[in-house]
Amino acid sequence: MKIFNAKQIYEADKFTIKKQQISSDELMERVAIQIFNWLHLRLQGAPVKIHLFCGIGNNGGDGVAVARHLQEHGYHIHVHIVNYSDKRSDDFLLNLNRLKDRKIWPNFINSDSEFPEISNEDIVIDAIFGIGLNRNPDAWVVKLIQNINASNAFVLGVDIPSGLFTDRAVEIKEGVVRASYVLSFQTPKLVFFLPETGIYSNQWEILDIGIDPEYLMNTAVDYDLIGKHEVLPLYIPREKFSHKGTYGHALIVGGSYGKIGSVQLASKACLLTGSGLVTAYLPKCGYIPMQTALPEVMIITDEDEKNISTINFEISPNVIGIGIGLSTVKNTQKAFEEFLKKNTLPLVIDADGINILSENKSFLKLLPAQTILTPHPKELERLIGSWKDDFDKLKKAKAFSKKYDCVLVLKGAHTITLYNNKGYINTTGNPGMATAGSGDVLTGIITGLIAQGYSTETAAVFGVYLHGKAGDIAVENYGYQALIASTISDAIGDAFIDLFKAPNPVPEQEEPIEE
Ligand SMILES: NC(=O)C1=CN([C@@H]2O[C@H](COP(=O)(O)OP(=O)(O)OC[C@H]3O[C@@H](n4cnc5c(N)ncnc54)[C@H](O)[C@@H]3O)[C@@H](O)[C@H]2O)[C@@H](O)CC1
Ligand SMILES: Nc1ncnc2c1ncn2[C@@H]1O[C@H](COP(=O)(O)OP(=O)(O)O)[C@@H](O)[C@H]1O
Ligand SMILES: [K+]
């Protein structure tokens, strides 16, 4: 799914209004009906108090229009107009007048007003600012937002939590509504997926407001959201007359005394992803544990007992995953440099492999084109330096990826893969995956996909998806706390099977109102 920026959303609105020959008010009405139906389905007329905080732009217009539908269906509403500017939008005014025609007199909140009391059982609809926020809210609006956040009421955000900018970082953190749920229109916003701003929208859902498909299809975006729909076409089916040689030979290089497990995890995940053959390159101390744990994996040992000191092999893999559990001792750094100098195979580099690159930036020019680097945030910081905020991080990471022609996999709750100025935001995964070794499993998965013939960029995007999906499937049986890396790995097969499962049927809505 494409993620549009604010400018594109405004363009999409204009395009739709023109092409479908509707008024902007009709588009707003679509929004309002969708929000109303969402609420009505869940509330079923419950006598709960609903506070609607509405700004004076179109986001506020949405809120005021929803208020009208709620009132018409007998709900107990309190409409508050957050009067932060005189520049009221036409559609806001139109909807405000429709309320007044129905004898509903909103409570106008100005800088010197007392704020309404909100109790924990109430519902708040947050329609103060939408994607039009272009500067920090005034101090009194920040206070109002703090008042909403202090309430513990269920807060439904309209389009985007008020106070969040669509395409840049937040400056006044306490001036952003913490929404329990956000109903966003047509496209999710990039800020929902970034760690600094994602915290303001606990859950979100996209409502289809009928934006013109031609615009959606033909407009290029900087970020794509990756779900099953996006990865399914990437899948390469297995051929009947294939053999293990058809599916490649992956070499996993890593491990040091005390960290042999990381190579076990990566090698196993690589096999479970379907690599025809997997060889592990380990220091000598890794031989027995590895051979015992994974009989399917072949092993080459280094001359050194505890660390990797030279990377020489006489096999012909078609991809190498390197860096996990490697350590950064001098000897290993030297071996890594020598290896990079002669290597021409595609590489997936993780953990200490990344740390060695960070300590020796001159090694970066030795990387083959489209090398995949999979840093967690700390490793990323060592690699590209610190950043001011998430947007600055993305900018710097994109520039790094361009400079060194590498695919950067920025691991996190929503892992973002960057290549060629484009970002792919993953939607699978869960906090149970914040556990030792889960990154090693990812390295194995991505390496295993490349072994089988997936391009590096595809392997990164698909691998991240499968890894998260395996975590999501495994967590159903284990729970967040007991989920460990091996369990994620064991669910890789289920993650593949899940690709071909039919989606759950959508429950039928009861009595939705029509446009
Ligand atoms: N395709 C869509 O997504 C549609 C979106 N609509 C709604 O329209 C919203 C955007 O509406 P607007 O463009 O009117 O903008 P907003 O309602 O988000 O903001 C109101 C206006 O306030 C001004 N403003 C910005 N920051 C301010 C600040 N800190 N203090 C005071 N004033 C400030 C701006 O000039 C802005 O236009 C969307 O978020 C959505 O809710 C719908 O009504 C129509 C269709
Ligand atoms: N809260 C979370 N939600 C989803 N995925 C997560 C979360 N925390 C961590 N992960 C995933 O788990 C993996 C952790 O990798 P990493 O930090 O390298 O672990 P390790 O070094 O222990 O192997 C990454 O793929 C990351 O995206
Ligand atoms: K809002």
- Residues 432-489: pLDDT tens digits? 999 999 999 999 999 999 999 999 999 999 999 999 999 999 999 999 999 999 999 9
The residue type of 482 is: A
The percent of residues above 90 in pLDDT, for the chain, comes to 95
pLDDT in tens, 218-240: 999 999 999 999 999 999 999 98
Please tell me the distance from the alpha carbon of residue 24 to that of residue 10, in angstroms, as a whole number: 11
- Buried-exposed string 53-66: b where 16+ CB fall within 10 A, e elsewhere: bbbbbbbbbbbbbb
Task: State the CATH number of the domain containing residue 280.
Answer: 3.40.1190.20
Asked if 66 contacts 125 with a C-beta cutoff of 8 angstroms, the reply is yes
Residues 212 and 324 in one domain: no
CA–CA separation, 418 and 374 (whole Å): 11
Are residues 211 and 275 located together in one domain of the fold? Answer: no
Distance CA 16, CA 39 (A): 26
Compute the Cα dihedral for 205, 208, 211, 212 and give only its sign. Answer: positive
Q: What is the pLDDT of residues 144-165, one digit of tens each?
A: 999 999 999 999 999 999 999 9
Residues making up the chain, counted from first to last: 515
- Alpha-helix residue ranges (DSSP H) falling in 248-315: 260-272, 287-293
Which residue has the CA at smallest separation from atom 14 of ligand 2?
439
pLDDT tens figures, 15-70: 999 999 999 999 999 999 999 999 999 999 999 999 999 999 999 999 999 999 99
The larger pLDDT score, comparing residue 509 to residue 300, is at 300
- pLDDT for res 246: 87
One domain for residues 42 and 163: yes
Q: Which residues contact 493 (CB under 8 A, 6 or more apart)?
A: 272
111 and 7 assigned to the same domain: yes
Residue 514, pLDDT > 80, answer no
Element at 39 (helix H, strand E) = helix 24-43
Range scoring the smallest mean pLDDT among 67-81, 161-175, 498-512:
498-512
pLDDT computed for residue 502 by the predictor: 82
Confidence of residue 510 (pLDDT cuts 50, 70, 90): low
| Residues flanking ligand 2, CB < 6 Å | 351, 376, 411-413, 415, 429-431, 433-434, 436-440, 442, 467
Q: How far apart are CA 232 and CA 499, in angstroms?
A: 6
Q: What is the pLDDT of residues 110-144, one digit of tens each?
A: 999 999 999 999 999 999 999 999 999 999 999 99
* Residue 507 resides in a domain: no
Residue type, 209: I
Q: So what's the pLDDT on residue 506? A: 64
Tokens 């996990």, located at residue = 324
Arithmetic mean of pLDDT, 302-309: 97
Answer yes or no: do 359 and 260 share one domain. Answer: yes
> Atom of ligand 2 at shortest distance to CA of 429?
4
What is the distance between the alpha carbons of residues 499 and 199, in angstroms, rounded to a whole number?
A: 29
Q: Which two three-digit tokens encode residue 182? A: 């956000």
Asked if residue 515 is part of any domain, the answer here is no
pLDDT at 509 over 70: no
CA atoms 413, 349, 319, 330: torsion sign: negative
Domain assignment of residue 22, yes or no: yes
Locus of tokens 């998260």: 468
Q: Evaluate whether residue 104 is within a structural domain.
A: yes
Q: Which residues of 326-339 are buried (b: 16+ CB within 10 A; e: fewer)?
A: bbbbeebbebbeeb
Query: Residue 396 domain-assigned?
Result: yes
For 438, the token pair is 């889960």
Determine which residue's CA is closest to atom 11 belonging to ligand 1: 58
Q: Report the number of distinct structural domains present in the chain.
A: 2
Distance between Cα 259 and ligand 2 center (Å): 18
- Order of strands across the sheet that contains 223-226: 2-3, 223-226, 422-426, 416-419, 406-410, 371-373, 347-349, 319-322, 249-253, 277-282, 298-301
What are the tens digits of pLDDT across the range 36-48? Answer: 999 999 999 999 9
DSSP string, 362-379: GGGGGSPTTEEE---HHH
Q: Is residue 233 part of a domain?
A: no
Q: How many other CB atoms sit within 10 Å of the CB of residue 345? A: 12
Residues near ligand 1 with C-beta < 6 Å?
9, 13, 27-28, 31, 55, 57-62, 84-85, 89, 129-137, 158-159, 185-186, 209, 211
Atom 18 in ligand 2: which residue has the minimum CA distance?
A: 439
What is the distance between the alpha carbons of residues 333 and 358, in angstroms, rounded to a whole number? 11
Which of the listed residues 18, 27, 58 should we mutate to test ligand 1's pocket, taking the one with most ligand atoms within 8 A of CB? 58
Q: Nearest Cα to 470, choosing from 449, 488, 497, 448?
A: 488
410 in helix, strand or coil? strand
The Å distance, Cα 148 to ligand 3 centre, comes to 12
Claim to verify: residue 187 and residue 259 sit in the same structural domain:
no
Q: Ligand 2 pocket: which of 202, 411, 415, 424 to mutate (most atoms <8 Å of CB)?
A: 411
State whether 442 and 321 are in the same domain. Answer: yes
Environment of ion ligand 3 (residues, CB < 5 A): 126, 158, 162
Would 513 be classed as within a structural domain? no
Beta strand pairing call for 223-226 and 422-426 = parallel
SS (H, E, C) 213-231: HHHHHHCCCCEEEECHHHH
Mean pLDDT of the residues in the chain: 96
Q: Report how far apart, in Å, the C-alpha atoms of 96 and of each of 64, 69, 446 are.
A: 6, 13, 54
Instruction: Give 422-460 as a DSSP string.
Output: EEEEE----GGG-STTHHHHHHHHHHHHHHTT--HHHHH
SS3 244: helix
Together in a domain, 197 and 306? no
Confidence class for position 507, pLDDT limits 50, 70, 90? low
d(CA 28, CA 92): 9
For residue 503, what pLDDT band results from cuts at 50, 70 and 90?
Answer: confident
pLDDT digits (tens, 9 = 90+) for 380-408: 999 999 999 999 999 999 999 999 999 99
Cα-to-centroid distance, 98 and ligand 2 (Å): 50
Phi and psi based region of residue 363 (left: phi greater than 0; alpha: psi -120 to 50; beta: remaining): alpha
Question: 164-194: per-residue pLDDT in tens?
Answer: 999 999 999 999 999 999 999 988 999 999 9
Tell me the C-alpha distance between 132 and 139, whole Å.
18
Q: State the residue range of the domain holding 416.
A: 249-499
Residue 177 falls in which region: left (phi positive, over 0), alpha (psi -120 to 50) or beta: beta
Q: Cβ distance 238 to 248 under 8 Å?
A: no
Q: Which ligand is nearest to the CA of 464?
A: 2
- pTM (2 decimals)? 0.93
Same domain, 30 and 155: yes
**CA dist list (Å): 90 to 16, 87, 101:** 18, 9, 16
What pLDDT is recorded for position 244?
84
Verify that 327 and 202 share a domain, yes or no.
no
Check whether residue 189 and residue 58 sit in a common domain. Answer: yes
What CATH number is associated with residue 70? 3.40.50.10260
d(CA 343, CA 278): 18
pLDDT tens readout for residues 438-451: 999 999 999 999 99
